[in-house]
Chain A
Amino acid sequence: MQRRTFLASFAATLAPRLTWADIGAPAFLAAGKRGEDFFLHGLSASGASLFRIALPGRGHAAAAHPVRAEAVAFARRPGTFALVIDCATGETRHRLAPPEGMQFNGHGAYSLDGTLLMTSEVVAETSEGRIGLWDTAHYTRLTDWPSHGIGPHEIKRLPDGRLVVANGGIQTDPVDRTKLNIPDMRPNLTLLAEDGALIDQIELLDLRQNSIRHLALQGDTIAFAMQWEGDPAEPVSQLGLWTPGTAPVLCPPAAAEAFTMQGYAGSIAATADRILITSPKGGALMIFAADGTPVATHLRADLCGASASGGTFTVTDGQGAIWSADVQGLTPLATDETQWDNHLVALT
């Protein structure tokens, strides 16, 4: 056997089992646009692109398999594709399509052991929320659960296996994303058991036009980021904290910065003692203490992707830059011509 042939067949044998460590231990996944083309990138902790894989359209977020070097890239909503990508070879292993009449909604999460993938979905006609379940051995559809709300967006698996769902509350046109129910919207946060049973749910009764959309975990607390659909002249919180079993707490910014985020948080990330939210519309990020006290605001146009890894925050923007963020400021890590999309997903 030729050495090259041997190596190729050796690689082929191992390829399906390669772990993230085997492919250079990327720290993050991020979707982006370069020129007119869309890609999913694996990024090092210092923001270097370790690999990039072409996507058929604009991406949104990704979910990383906990062990295998395998990720699901979700389309921007309303999503018609979710691609299971072998991050070692760049090949698309599976192309997931939602069942007839359903749409992906931009986010997903794996079970702790990686055997299940959960996807946030809506019934296209009504925006009624569902959580799709997929067996990751061959990515076959198993079933779906109700999300117990309208327009679920981000979902997060808790370390004990429960699933928290940000039901954004917004009914959208299945084709053009026009918002259809702003006066009557009712977002909620829903906690599901491992078998999909409803455990708990909260609503913000005085702020029903504050769409709960993105999530980060900090110990037992669920930090949630919101987007305000009401009068833009009203100062409202973009961050809330919920420890299941207690009432949610809203975390307003400092009074002078009540409008810095333009009512919009695009991503959220949490370390052990800090929470960070970004606003591409406001061109800003805010860092809060664990109790929700605002501690810093930094300005940068079109910031959106945010992730916490190893106790530090990394953020990305639509101008191609990747930054390290702390209370003192933003430090550029890398810049190129890829416009980074909404989310930066940590692999650790």
Chain B
Amino acid sequence: MPQTDRPPLATIAIPRLPPPLWGRAGVGGLPSLALMLLLSGPAAADTAAVVADHARPGYAAFDDAVARLADVESCDPEALRPAFQVAYDAWMAVEHLHLGPSEEDGRALSILFWPDPKGLGAKAQTALLKADPASLSLDGMAQQSVAARGLSGLERLLFPTKPLAADPCPLIQVTIDDLARQAAVLSADWGPFGDTLLSAGQAGNTRFLKPEEATQALFTQLATGLEFIADRRIGRPLATFDKPRPDLAEGQASGRALANITLSLKGLRGLAVSLSPDSARTLAAFDHAINLSETLNDPLLDHITDPQAWLKLEILQQAVRATRDAAIAEIGPALGVELGFNSQDGD
């Protein structure tokens, strides 16, 4: 059967109503339209689509992936690495959502603590490795430094770059269990938090006082997520032309440096599609950046000590920044929101 150009169902865009200034209840992707019919509230279609099609399934997938990692009956790094990689992949799909449950009690930091220029994670973890294994408990991990926990902590145990201070098995197990608990809490808490986004502007919602506040919060995640990729995931290893720092790339030990850039771009593209499916210019900018990243052929970013490779990574950084600019110019006006009045201004 011949291939068609028909996009998958979830991304079919149906025409949007011109947005009135406030209190928009437009239409968006089909799943969100179905959801809208179930909702009596004034939540904007963009918010409904992000909750239903992006955030909740993304956190559920992360929860599933971490649960499968926890199901591996082994302490052997070789046996754990594949499931670790799948879990890390899943986190890249939602890591940019810095609002709600991920921001409570430092939860997002306890899942991924990067960058860590002072080596806080390794220091705290060495103390845990040297401690009596009997003292390690799931509840005890919740009290430990966020820098020692989560995917970043596991990476140091599963891909050690120098000999570990002690048998890592007990710490590996409790770190995975702690991660699994955090993933389950996140997925569960996005139920009520999603409802809070969807009821923005309704009586009793003291988190989002107007419908557009929820939209603005999600739009802000798109812009800041792209900034994070450009400034940190790319910017830290890129450093300067004269002194590149591939050693500062995220996920160096586990071979994820470039993959994290690609996957986080794809995650943010998913957010953009849910927020504003007709944003052709923004989506084209995403596709350009993703294509550059997928064809960079430098998985550890360690080629960037070569000037040609460094320039290619810099071009990718520019493409990510151009994507942010496109989103601000196109999606912001389409949704009737801007980035923060004070947060963007400084004093």
Known: A301-B217, A319-B213, A330-B206. Contact between A283 and B347, CB under 8 A?
no
Interface residues of A in 267-305 (CB under 8 A from B): 280-281, 283, 299-304
> B344 to nearest A CB, angstroms?
8
Q: Which of B27-35, B69-77, B114-122, B152-160 contacts A (4 or more CB under 8 A)?
A: B114-122
The listed residue (B115, B207, B341) touching A302 by CB distance below 8 A is: B341
Given A231-B117, A233-B116, A321-B209, are A255 and B340 also a contact pair (CB < 8 Å)? no
A106 nearest CB across to chain B (Å): 7
Choose the segment among A21-29, A39-47, A183-191, A335-343 that binds chain B (4+ C-beta atoms closer than 8 Å).
A335-343
Total contacting residues, chain B, CB less than 8 A = 32
Q: Closest B-chain residue to A262, C-beta based?
A: B343
CB of A234 closer than 8 Å to a CB of B: yes
Residue of B nearest to A301 (CB): B217
> Besides the contacts A266-B342, A302-B340, what 4 more A-B pairs have beta carbons closer than 8 Å?
A255-B106, A281-B343, A301-B216, A332-B206
Q: How far is the CA of A90 from the CA of B337 in the complex (A)?
A: 31
- Is B109 an interface residue when CB atoms closer than 8 A count as contact? yes
Contact B206 A331 (CB under 8 A): yes
A31 to B106, CA, bound (A): 33
Asked if A145 is an interface residue, CB under 8 A from chain B, the answer is no
Q: Are A318 and B206 in contact (CB under 8 A)?
A: no
The 3 A-B pairs with the shortest beta carbon distances in the complex, nearest first, are: A256-B106, A318-B341, A280-B342
Q: Considering only CB atoms, which chain B residue lies closest to A319 in the complex?
A: B213
Can you list 13 A-B pairs with a CB-CB distance of less than 8 A? A177-B346, A213-B347, A255-B146, A256-B110, A259-B109, A283-B99, A283-B343, A301-B216, A318-B341, A319-B213, A332-B209, A335-B210, A341-B342
The interface bits of chain B over 114-156 (1 if a CB of A lies within 8 angstroms of the residue's CB, else 0) are 0111101000000000000000000000000110000000000
Complex CA–CA separation, A232 to B231 (angstroms): 10
**Contact between A260 and B217 (Cβ–Cβ < 8 Å)?**
no
Complex Cα distance, B212 from A339, in Å, reads 14
A266 contacts B103, C-beta separation under 8 Å: no
A128 close to chain B: CB less than 8 A:
no
Interface residue from A299, A317, A341 paired with B103 (Cβ < 8 Å): A299
Quick check: A304 and B342 within 8 Å, CB to CB? Answer: yes
Chain B, residue nearest A316 (CB): B342
Q: Could you tell me which A residues sit within 8 Å of B by CB distance?
A: 33, 60, 76-77, 106, 153, 177, 213-214, 227, 231-235, 254-260, 266, 280-281, 283, 299-304, 317-321, 330-332, 335, 339-342
Q: Which residue of A lies closest to B98 (CB)?
A: A283
Are B118 and A280 closer than 8 Å at their CB atoms?
A: no
Q: In the complex, what residues of A have CB within 8 A of residue B105's CB?
A: 256
Question: In residues 149-200 of chain B, which contact A (Cβ within 8 Å)?
Answer: none
Inter-chain CA distance A317–B103, complex, in Å, is: 19
Contact A301 B220 (CB under 8 A): yes
The reply on B24 being an interface residue by CB < 8 A is: no
Residues of A within 8 A of B118 (CB): 234-235
Q: In the complex, what distance in Å separates the CA atom of A258 from the CA atom of B105? A: 11
- Cα A269 to Cα B79 with chains together (Å): 54
User: A319, B210: Cβ atoms under 8 Å?
Assistant: yes
CB distance from B203 to the nearest CB of A (A): 11
B232 at the interface (CB under 8 A from A): yes
Closest chain A CB from B224 CB (angstroms): 9
Roughly how many angstroms separate A304 CA and B342 CA in the complex, as a whole number? 7
User: Which residues in window 86-110 of B have CB below 8 A to A?
Assistant: 99, 103-106, 109-110
B81 shortest CB reach to chain A, Å: 26
- Residues on B with C-beta less than 8 A from A213 are 347
**Contact in complex: B210, A233 (CB < 8 Å):** no
Q: Name which residue of chain B comes closest to A259, CB basis.
A: B109
